[in-house]
Amino acid sequence: MNAGLLRVGRDARVPQEARLDALAAVAGGIGTLEPELFDFLKASVKPSLSVAARGSAATALKKSTLSPEQRLSLVDSVREAGPLELPSLLACFEGASDEALGAKLLAALEQSKGLVSLRSEVLNPVLAKFPASVQKKGETLLASLEGDSTKQKAHLEKLLASLQSGDVRRGQTVFNSMKAACSACHTIGYLGGKVGPDLTRIGQVRTERDLLEAIVYPSASFVRSYEPLVIATKSGDMHNGVVRQENDDEILLATGPRTEVRIAQDDIKEMRPGTVSVMPAGLEEQITRQELTDLLAFLKGTRWGAQ
C-alpha cells in the first residue's frame, strides 16, 4: 500500500492535490525526501493554495525525515503558515538541536500569522532538544500569547464596537475562501465539512457577540458533541481532536479538516477533555477587518439558510 502511495506522490504527471493526498495517506514515516519531492511539498504549503492542499502537504512533511538543510529551508514556510498547517510544520523540527536553527525558527514564528493559535503542547515538544537559550525564548513567546478572560472580553467588546455593517454575499465568499477556510470544517446547507458544527441556522441560536467570540477565540467554549478530546497512547503519541466514531476496538478522532487518526483502544494510556479547539485561533489575523465584518453578517443571516 505505501509503495503505491509513494509512486503516486512522486509522479509529476498526477494532479497536485492527488499527489499530496497520496503522500499524506502513507502510513508511518515517508523517510528521506529527495530534493524534488521536498521542493514540491514545500511549495504546496503556500497560503495561496487550498486548505486541503496545504494540510496534506504539511502532514506529508511531518511524516518525513528531513535533513538539516531541509529543516532550515522550511523555516520560510513556518513564517508564511496559517493556523491550520502550523502545528504539522512545527512537528518537522522535533528532535532538532542546533541553536542557530532554533533561533531562526522562533524568529519566523514571531512573524507568522498563525502565531496566535500556538499552544504550549505544540511548541514544547518541538523545542525539547534545543539548547536552554532557545527554550527560554520559546517560553517567553508562549507567555506573550497567554490571554486571560478579562483581556479577551475587553478585546471582543472593542472589536464588536468597531465593526460596521457587513455584506452577506461578500461574507459568503469569505466563508468559502481558501484564506478563511471555514467551509473546510463547517457545513452550511448541503455543502461543507463535518469536523465542526453545522452552521446552517447558527444565526437563530447565537448572538452577534457569540459568533464573534467563536471566530476570534474558538477555545472559549465548545458546542455539545464537538468538545475536543486529548488521547495519550502507550506508544507515546498525543492526539487532540473530536470523536467521530468509537467502538470496543478503536476510536476515530478528527484532528483537522482532512485529517483523522484511528487509535486502538488497547493503545490508549489516557483520555481527558481537551481545552484547545480543533478550530485554530488566528482567523482574525488571516482576514481583513472588512472581511471579518462581512463574515459575521453572513453567519448572522444563516437563520434563513445559506444566501
- In order, the DSSP letters of 124-173 are HHHHTTS-HHHHHHHHHHHHHH---HHHHHHHHHHHHHH-----HHHHHH
CA 154 to chain centre: 26
Number of domains in the chain: 3
- The last residue of one of the domains, among 92, 126, 145, is 145
Together in a domain, 170 and 205: yes
Together in a domain, 153 and 300: yes
Together in a domain, 285 and 183: yes
Identify whether the C-beta of residue 182 lies closer than 8 Å to the C-beta of residue 295. Answer: yes
What CATH number corresponds to the domain at position 132?
1.25.10
Together in a domain, 162 and 268: no
Together in a domain, 300 and 155: yes
Together in a domain, 177 and 50: no
Together in a domain, 156 and 300: yes
Cell numbers placing 183: 467551509
Give this prediction's pTM. Answer: 0.71
* Whole-number average pLDDT of the chain: 88
Cα 34 to Cα 30, 78, 97, 185, 207: the distances in Å are: 11, 20, 22, 33, 51
**Alpha-carbon span 151 to 133, nearest angstrom:** 29
The residue range of the domain holding 237 is 229-273
Together in a domain, 73 and 190: no
What CATH number corresponds to the domain at position 190?
1.10.760.10
Together in a domain, 127 and 59: yes
Side chain identity at residue 43, one-letter code: A
- The last residue of one of the domains, among 99, 117, 145, is 145
Residue 307 in this model has a pLDDT that exceeds 50: no
Together in a domain, 136 and 19: yes
Together in a domain, 103 and 210: no
- The last residue of one of the domains, among 116, 145, 174, is 145
Together in a domain, 31 and 97: yes
Span 21-78, pLDDT tens digits: 999 888 878 999 999 999 999 999 988 888 778 888 999 999 999 999 999 999 999 9
Name the band, by pLDDT with cuts 50, 70 and 90, for residue 148: low
